[in-house]
Each structure stands twice: as C-alpha cells, then as structure tokens.
C-alpha cells in the first residue's frame, strides 16, 4: 500500500471532505492544502464513461484554456522553409526536418509537445512506434497548416487531452496562485471540450468522476453534475 509523506498527511487534515463538492469548494480546498514552497500545478483527473478499447470511443483533442496552464511547454516542430521560419518566430524551441527526425530516432526526448506541418508527416511517420501517443496528430491539433498559430496557442495555454487505458484524462489547468475564478473558468472550458468530444456510442454517465489536486496535495472530488451544469452543455 502506498504511503504519503508527513507534509501530505498534514495537508489532508486541513480538509474534511468525504463527499463530492462544488468546483468552488474543491479549489478552495486545493489552495488550503498546497503547502509546497513553489507554485504548485493544479491538475484535474476525469474518469469518463467510455471504453478506450473500442476505437469509436477514444476521446482525444485539445482546448485553449482562457487562463493558460501556468506552464510554457517546450515545443519541437517538424517543418521546412517558410513554415520553419514561422515556427521559430512564433516561439518554437527547436525546428527541423530530417535532422530532427534523426535526432528523435536516436533517443532525444527533451521536448513536451511535437508539432508537424502536414507535408512533413511522410517522414515523421517512421517515428510512430518510438513516439506512441506523443506522435503529432490532427485530432490533437498538432498536425497543422498554420504552424505559427499552433505554436502560439500551445505556448499560450492550449492543453491536449487523451483518454488512457483506464478511461481517465489528466490535464493541468493552472497554478495554485490562480484565483478561484480562473481555475473554475479553465475547468469549465475543459469540460465543454470533453462534452463536445463525447462519442455517440458512449452510453450512461459520461463524466463519471472528477478530482482536482495540487502537485503535492491530496485529491479533492468534484460533483460531476454540478461541474457539468456550469458548462451549459447537456
């Protein structure tokens, strides 16, 4: 059985929450239990009512959070010519073509997100097995005809989401230093994107469980019905 440190146990004592609560109450608890000396990331974990083993129930996409994620990701871009120049000017950390493919094929992994222009996918495709879910993908918005805008969006707070084998999605939605309103707005926009991405074959409750936590803090459960009501999406 996993054990937590003394700091975690002390943080847990600060909140007495046994049932799912509203987003506001959950974020208040997250702020109360965040005691690290750095600005902790706030992450949401969502259990969806889908079966990831079924290809038509794979939930994947991206969304631009109104207040960003609080982190500027390291972005590598596959592009040539004018697109390469545009990517660099937009703030990409590394830009390349065959040389970048060779670099990654050789084991280089010092990046958070990979982006590719459509004309580059012919050579990027050979990295499929090595990259797995980190492979540039049109559904995730990382295969693009407008590389400059894509890089700007990602640097400015665009968050990707992909359901895992256990039907969970994990997304950073800000920092503990964010206001309650900023965290709630980011959560609402994320949930709106997830609800729009709901597979037609998904039956029953779609947002089954929602939890938020800071980097070093305990997990706080949010009532899915209350959170969904705030999105305006039925």
Determine, yes or no, domain membership for 46.
Answer: yes
User: Do 133 and 174 share a structural domain?
Assistant: no
For the segment 70-78, the average pLDDT, to the nearest whole number, is 93
Cα 40 to Cα 138: distance, rounded to the nearest angstrom: 31
Distance CA 139, CA 87 (A): 20
Domain-ending residue, one of 156, 185, 208: 156
If asked whether residues 64 and 162 sit together in one domain, one would say yes
Examine residue 190 and state whether it is found in any structural domain, yes or no.
yes
Could you report the per-residue pLDDT of 81-114, keeping only the tens digit for each?
999 999 999 999 999 999 999 999 999 999 999 9
Q: Read off the pLDDT of residues 191-228 as tens digits, 9 standing for 90 and up.
A: 999 999 999 999 889 999 999 999 999 999 999 999 99
Count of domains observed in the chain: 2
pLDDT at 16: 59
Contact of 79 with 119, CB cutoff 8 Å: no
Beta strands in the chain (DSSP E): 41-48, 60-64, 75-78, 94-96, 113-117, 143-144, 158-162, 168-175, 207-214, 220-222
**Same domain for 122 and 81:** yes
Same domain, 121 and 100: yes
pLDDT of residue 10: 57
Percentage with pLDDT > 70 across the chain: 92
pLDDT at 8: 54
**Which domain, by its residues, includes 134?**
75-156
Give the per-residue pLDDT at 158.
Answer: 87
Confidence band (pLDDT; 50, 70, 90) for 156?
confident
Residues 167 and 65 in one domain: yes
How many whole angstroms separate alpha carbon 192 and alpha carbon 163?
16
Domain final position from 112, 135, 156: 156
Q: Which pLDDT tens digit goes with each residue over 18-55? A: 799 999 999 999 999 998 999 999 999 999 999 999 98
Spatial contact of 135 and 114, defined as CB atoms under 8 Å apart: yes
Report d(CA 77, CA 99) in Å as an integer.
11
For tokens 């493919």, what's the residue?
101
In this prediction, residue 92 carries a pLDDT of 97
Give the 3-state secondary structure of residue 211: strand
For residue 234, being part of any structural domain is answered with no
The DSSP letter of residue 141 is T
**178 within domain boundaries:** yes
Q: Tell me the β-bridge partners of 43.
A: 172, 213
pLDDT of 72 reads: 86
Q: Which of 76, 72, 161, 155 is nearest to 115 (CA)?
A: 76
Q: What is the mean pLDDT of the chain?
A: 91
pLDDT-based confidence at residue 233 (cuts at 50, 70, 90): confident
Q: Is residue 197 part of a domain?
A: yes
Q: How confident is the model at residue 12 (pLDDT cuts 50, 70, 90)?
A: low
Give the model's pLDDT for residue 105.
94
Domain-located, residue 79:
yes
pLDDT at position 1 over 50: no
Tell me how far apart the alpha carbons of residues 57 and 40 are, in angstroms, rounded to a whole number: 32
The values of phi and psi at residue 227, to 5°, are -65, -40
Give the predicted TM-score (pTM) of the model.
0.78
Q: Which residues, in sequence order, are CB contacts of 141 under 8 Å at separation 6+?
A: 61, 62, 150, 153, 158, 160
**Could you tell me which of 230, 219, 223 has the C-alpha nearest to residue 30?**
219
Residue 231 structure tokens = 């999105």
Residues 163 and 64 placed together within one structural domain of the fold = yes
- Answer with the one of 98, 131, 156 that is the final residue of a domain: 156
For the cut 90, the answer to whether the pLDDT of residue 76 exceeds it is yes
């Amino acid at each position: 059985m996993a054990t937590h440190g003394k700091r975690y146990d002390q943080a847990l004592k600060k909140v007495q929450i046994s049932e799912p609560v509203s987003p506001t109450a959950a974020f208040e608890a997250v702020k109360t239990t965040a005691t690290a000396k750095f600005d902790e990331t706030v992450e949401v974990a969502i259990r969806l009512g889908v079966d990831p083993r079924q290809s038509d129930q794979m939930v994947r996409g991206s969304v631009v959070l109104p207040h960003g994620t609080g982190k500027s990701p390291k972005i590598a871009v596959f592009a040539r010519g004018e697109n390469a120049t545009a990517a660099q000017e937009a703030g990409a950390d590394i830009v390349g073509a065959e040389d970048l493919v060779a670099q990654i094929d050789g084991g280089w992994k010092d990046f958070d997100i990979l982006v590719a222009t459509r004309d580059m996918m012919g050579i990027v495709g050979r990295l499929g097995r090595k990259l797995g879910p980190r492979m540039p993908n049109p559904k995730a918005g990382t295969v693009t005809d407008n590389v400059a805008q894509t890089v700007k969006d990602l640097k400015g707070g665009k968050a990707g989401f992909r359901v895992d084998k256990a039907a969970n999605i994990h997304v950073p939605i800000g920092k503990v230093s964010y206001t309650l309103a900023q965290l709630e707005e980011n959560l609402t926009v994320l949930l709106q994107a997830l609800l729009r991405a709901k597979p037609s074959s998904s039956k029953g409750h779609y947002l089954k469980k929602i939890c938020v936590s800071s980097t070093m803090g305990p997990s706080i459960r949010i009532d899915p019905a209350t959170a969904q009501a705030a999105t305006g999406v039925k």
